[in-house]
Amino acid sequence: MELVISVTIGFLAASGLWLLLRPRTFQVIIGLSLLSYAVNLFIFAMGRLRIGAPPVLDPSVAPSLASYADPLPQALVLTAIVIGFAMTALFLVVLLAGRGLSGSDHVDGVERGP
Partner 1 sequence: MTVADHLIIAPIIIPLVAGGIMLLLDGRRREAVAAIGIFATLAQLAVAIALLVTSAKEDPASMVRVYLLGDWPASFGIVLVADRLAALMLLLTATLGCAALLFSLASWHREGSYFHPLFQFLLMGLNGAFLTGDLFNLFVFFEVLLAASYGLALHGSGRARVSASLHYIVINLVASSLFLIGVSLIYGTAGTLNMAALAERIAMLDPTDRRLFEIGAAVLGVAFLVKAGAWPLGFWLPGLYGAASAPVAAVFGIMTKVGFYAILRLGSLTAGAAGGTSIFFGEGWLFAIGAATIGFAAIGMLASQDMGRLAGYNVLASSGTLLAAIGFGGTAMTSAALFYLVSSTLTVAAFFLLVELLERGRSVADDVLAVTLEAYGSEEATDAEEEEEVGVAIPAIIAALGVAFLACALLISGLPPLSGFLAKFAILNSVLGEHQLARAGIVSVHGWILLFAILVSSLATIIAVTRAGIRTFWTFTDRELPAVRRVELGAVALLIMLCVALTVQAGPVMRFMQATANGLDLSRAYVGAVQGRPHSTPHAAERKP
User: How would you classify residue 51: left for phi > 0, otherwise alpha for psi between -120 and 50, otherwise beta?
Assistant: beta
Residues 6+ apart with CB under 8 A from 67: 53, 61
Kindly give the residue spans of alpha helices, DSSP state H, lying in the chain.
2-20, 25-45, 71-102
Q: Which amino acid is present at 44? A: F
Q: Closest CB to partner 1 among 29 and 54?
A: 29
Decide whether 61 or 92 has the Cβ nearer to partner 1. Answer: 92
**Nearer CB in complex with partner 1: 14/72:** 72
Rounded to an integer, what distance in angstroms lies between the CA atom of residue 87 and that of residue 113? Answer: 31
Q: How far is the CB of 2 from partner 1 (least distance, A)?
A: 13
- Which positions touch partner 1 (CB under 8 A)? 20, 25, 28, 32, 35-36, 39, 42-43, 46-48, 72-73, 76, 79-80, 83-84, 86-88, 90-91, 94-95, 97-98, 101-102, 107-109
Which of 39, 69 has the CB closer to partner 1?
39
- Minimum Å gap between C-beta 53 and partner 1 is 17
